[in-house]
Amino acid sequence: MYLAAPDDSDPGAEVEADTTDAEEEPADGDTEIDIRSAEIEVVLSDLGEVLEQHFFRRLELWDAEDDVLVEASAAEDLDEERHELVLRLCYRLRWNPEEGVGEHWVDYPKTSDPDDENYDRARRPDRSMLPFIVLMPGHPLTLRPGSAFRELLNLGGDDLATALQALSSAVDSATDGLSATEAVSAVLDDVFEPVRGTLDIDADTAIADIVNFRAEGGSVAGLLRALQPALRLGSPEALPLRRHGSTTSAVLAAAEALVVASQAGAVVVCDDFGDQLDAGAAEHLARELRTACDQLWMSTRRPEAARAFRPEEMVRLSLRTSERTAHQMVPPSDKRELGVVRQLHLQLLPAMSSRAIVVFEGRHDVAALTAISQRRAGKPSPAAYGVRFVESEGHTEIVKICRLARQLGFRVIAGLDFDKPGQGADISFTDAQQVADDVIRLPERFAIEMALVHGIPRQSLLDAFTELDEQWQLGLAGMDQLNDRDLEKRLAKALHKSGVHAQYVYLLSGKAPKVAIRFLDQAVELARGTVTGPVTLTA
C-alpha cells in the first residue's frame, strides 16, 4: 500500500507507470528479440524560480483542473489559476533476455523521441538539483561515511572534521604506550630479532619506538567503523544498541529519517515503512513524517502506519489476473458513507496485504468460522490463500463495506444469512451481487447459529451446551426434554443472544457442523476464484 501526503504549496508529483513488451524489427535472417521494457513518468510542479530557470528549455504547461498536459495553446488561452509550468521526467528500463543485458536511464519526455530511439537524458548533476530524498533503512547512530547520522553531522561543516581529528588524536595518544609495556615489547623484540637486517632496522633501535598500534591502522574512517552506539536505557550500565532489541534500533532509525526528511521543499520517498516497529511507534512516527514533510510518498504493510493518513490519501496496489492496478478511495459524499468509512480503520486496513476478503453479514460469523478453521488440523487456513474475513452488521451494511472494499481493489465475496426468506432476502442477495465479485448464502431459514448446531448429534449438543450454561448462565434448563428440531432452534437462539459461538465450537466434540464447514470452504474457494457464484447452500 502506498500512502501519499501532498501539500498544495510544495512540489507535486503525479506518477504514471506502464509496462510493455517492445519488439525489435529483425533484420533479414535474424530472429526476433523480445525486448521487455517499463516506463514511469513523473510530473513535477511548484519548482520555484531557481529550478524553473535551470530547466527552462524542458518546462511544459499543465492543466491543473483536468490533470492533463497541455499539448499546444495560444498565449491568450492561458489561465494562471488553471495552468502551471511543470517538468516531466521519465524513468525507462529495458531488458534484453537474449543478451542478458539491462539498461535504465532518466530522460525528458518533452525533448525525447522514443519512436526514433532519440532520448534527451537527464544528467546526474541536473537530477541532484531536484529536492528529492529517499529514506533507506540502516543502522542508527553510526558514524561511518554514508550513514544517515553521518550525513546529519556533516551539515555542521568544519566542526565535525575538527571533532573527528581530536578523537583520532586522543585514540592515538591512548595507544602510544601499549608497545612500550614490558609484556608487549618483549614479544615484539622476539618477533623482529630475526628480521632486523631484512627490514633495515638498526640493532640499537628499540622496536617499541617503531611499532605503534592504531585502530584500523590509523585511518579515521576505520576508527569510525569500529565505534558503535551504547545506550543507558532502563539500567545504569551502557549497553550496545543491538542489545536493546530490534525495536529500539528501528525506532531510532526512523527518528533519524525524520530529521533527514524535514528538509524544506523536498519530495520524500520511504519504502516498507514500519516493518520492524511496534504498532504504537509505527503510527506515531508515520504521523510525524507526514507532518514534517512537504510531500511524502510512503509504502507500508503496517495498518498502524496508514492511520496517520486520510482515507483519500491512501493508494492500494494489487495484482489481479496478472495485471498490476492501483486503487484509491473516493471521499465519502454523504452521512451514510461516512458511517461505513470507520470500517476502513477497524477491518480493511488490517487486511490491506490480503488478496481477497469475505464480508459476512452477521456479527458472530467471523468468530465462529475462524474457530472452525483453527480446529481443522491439516487443513490450510483462509490466510494461507491470502483471504481475510470481515464482519458487518446486517445485509444493509454488508453492501456498503463490499463497495468500499472494491474501491481498494480487493476481490470481495459477500457471505449472507438466509434466515428470513422473502422479498427482502432476495433484494439483499441481488444487491450484494452488484457490489461484490461473488456471493454465497446459507441455506433457507439458516443463520450462522443454525448452521453451527444443525446435524450435530443430540448428545454432543447437550454436552457442549451444558458446559456453556454452567460457564455463562445461558438459562438452558430443561433442554433435554425438547425434541431434536426444537432443541436446535432453542440452542441457535441461545447462541445468537449470548455470542459464545467460538466457545461452542471449541467445546464441540464428535460430528462437525457440516453446513458451517461448507459455508467456510465455499467462501474461501470463491475468494480464491477457483469456483464461481452466486451460491445458495442447501442443508
Domain assignment of residue 495, yes or no: no
Among 111, 130, 149, residue at a domain's last position: 130
Write the DSSP symbol of residue 333.
-
In order of 92, 96, 229, the CA distances from 33 in angstroms are 18, 8, 53
Residue count of the chain: 539
State the Cα–Cα distance between residues 246 and 338, nearest whole angstrom.
39
Coil/strand/helix, residue 68 = strand
467: left (phi over 0), alpha (psi -120 to 50) or beta: alpha
* Averaged pLDDT for residues 177-183: 79
Among 89, 106, 130, residue at a domain's last position: 130
Among 109, 130, 151, residue at a domain's last position: 130
Average pLDDT value for the chain: 84
pLDDT digits 0-9 by tens, 152-177: 777 766 677 777 778 777 777 777 77
pLDDT for 438 beyond 70:
yes
% of residues, the chain, pLDDT over 70: 90
Instruction: Name the residue range of residue 336's domain.
Output: 325-454+513-536
- Is the distance from CB of 259 to CB of 152 less than 8 angstroms? yes
Write the DSSP symbol of residue 105.
E
Which comes out higher in pLDDT, residue 333 or 281? 281
Domain assignment of residue 203, yes or no: no
Structural Rg of the chain based on CA atoms: 34
If pLDDT is split at 50, 70 and 90, which confidence band does 16 have? very low
Q: For residue 95, what are the β-bridge partners? A: 36, 102
Provide DSSP, 224-269.
Answer: HHH---EE-SSSSS-EEGGGG-HHHHHHHHHHHHHHHHTSTT-EEE
Please, where are the H alpha helices in 349-422? 365-375, 395-407
Which residue do the cell numbers 433442554 mark? 479
pLDDT digits 0-9 by tens, 246-263: 788 888 888 888 888 777
Residue type, 212: N
Looking at residue 17, its pLDDT comes to: 44
Omega before residue 332 within 30° of 0, cis? no
Coil/strand/helix, residue 453 = helix
* Averaged pLDDT for residues 88-113: 92
Domain assignment of residue 507, yes or no: no
Write the DSSP symbol of residue 141.
T
pLDDT for 12 beyond 70:
no
pLDDT digits 0-9 by tens, 271-301: 888 888 888 889 998 998 888 888 888 899 8
Domain assignment of residue 298, yes or no: no
pLDDT digits 0-9 by tens, 455-511: 999 999 999 999 999 999 888 888 889 999 999 999 999 999 999 999 999 998 777
Domain assignment of residue 173, yes or no: no
Handedness of CA 516, 497, 398, 349 (dihedral sign): negative
User: How many domains does the chain fold into?
Assistant: 2
Q: For residue 91, what are the β-bridge partners? A: 40, 106
Domain assignment of residue 426, yes or no: yes
Residue in 204, 183, 65, 54 with CA at minimum distance from that of residue 129: 54
Provide DSSP, 23-64.
Answer: EPPPPTTPPP-EEEEEEEEEEEE--HHHHHHHTGGGEEEEET
Who contacts 504 (Cβ-Cβ below 8 Å, separation ≥6)? 368, 452, 464, 465, 468, 495
pLDDT for 521 beyond 70:
yes
10-12-13 Cα angle (round to 5):
155
pLDDT for 36 beyond 90:
no
* Averaged pLDDT for residues 37-49: 89
Long-range contacts of 308-315 (CB under 8 A, 24+ apart): 308/3, 308/283, 309/3, 309/4, 309/5, 311/341, 311/344, 313/3, 313/4, 313/5, 313/6, 314/1, 314/2, 314/3, 314/408, 315/1, 315/2, 315/3, 315/4
Looking at residue 487, its pLDDT comes to: 93
**What is the grid cell recorded at 459?**
448428545
Residue 332: which CATH number?
Answer: 3.40.50
Domain assignment of residue 107, yes or no: yes
Residue in 250, 304, 300 with CA at minimum distance from that of residue 271: 300
Looking at residue 353, its pLDDT comes to: 87
Query: In the chain, what are the helix, strand and coil shares in percent, each to the nearest 5?
Result: 45, 20, 35
Looking at residue 13, its pLDDT comes to: 45
pLDDT digits 0-9 by tens, 184-220: 888 888 888 888 888 888 888 888 888 877 766 666 6
State the Cα–Cα distance between residues 137 and 307, nearest whole angstrom.
21
If pLDDT is split at 50, 70 and 90, which confidence band does 29 have? low
Looking at residue 104, its pLDDT comes to: 94
Domain assignment of residue 184, yes or no: no
The region of weakest confidence among 16-30, 42-56, 181-195, 477-491 is 16-30
513: left (phi over 0), alpha (psi -120 to 50) or beta: beta
Give pTM, 2 decimals: 0.75
State the Cα–Cα distance between residues 47 and 50, nearest whole angstrom.
8
Looking at residue 209, its pLDDT comes to: 81
